[in-house]
Amino acid sequence: MQASIFHYGSIGLIEEPCRSTLLAATEIAKQSGCILSYDPNLRVPLWPSEDVAREGIMSIWNKADVIKVSEDEITFLTGNDDDAAIEKLYHANLKLLIVTEGAGGCRYYTKESKGRVDSHKVDAVDTTGAGDAFVAGLLNSLASDPTLYKEEEKLREALVFANGCGALTVMEKGAIPSLPTKEKVLKFLK
């Protein structure tokens, strides 16, 4: 079986030899035809400084086909979270940029469209892992249909599913134990 998506974050960029390994892996994945999915997953205390973190995160930004970033990460990278900030971060090869808003849902940006998808209202117990669950849900949909970002209706359906993954995750304690199965998400969405 060959991978169709290579997902990575910025934490691997902090120190060698992980940095050069991550950069080599992204090149190999791209040459192999994989979709490159990037979630900066900002953890400022792990970096030597905020400036080094910004520089590191942006050093591989233009390699990604799909980027999932939070409102806080957009503000950290650009100084604000408006459409002008998003335009600064959108690059020529980017197919899909998702801005997650926690309980507010998410915004999406493609070359053809932009919009938002509301989240599912639930009682949150522990938000740890919600972003990872969201990404897993989105990438699950993208693996089934690698061009879903080209049709807004399909993209919105995928984001409803991804939001469902995040919503179910926050309803239980612990990032890993709370991750839902595909079946559980589909049942929840009904």
**How does DSSP assign 3-27, residue by residue?**
-SEEEEESGGGSSTTHHHHHHHHHH
Please compute, for residue 85, the number of CA atoms within 13 A of its CA located in the half-sphere on the CB side.
15
* 132 counts as catalytic: yes
Query: What whole-number distance in Å separates Cα of residue 180 and Cα of residue 134?
Result: 11
Q: Which residue shows structure tokens 């469209």?
A: 113
Q: What angle do CA 40, 116, 110 make, to 5 degrees?
A: 65
| Nearest residue to 175 via CA among 165, 187, 190 | 165
Given 39, 65, 81, 132, which residue is catalytic? 132
| Nearest residue to 101 via CA among 71, 68, 126 | 71
| Sheet with 96-100, side-by-side order of all strands | 5-9, 35-39, 66-70, 96-100, 106-109, 114-117
Residues tagged active-site = 132
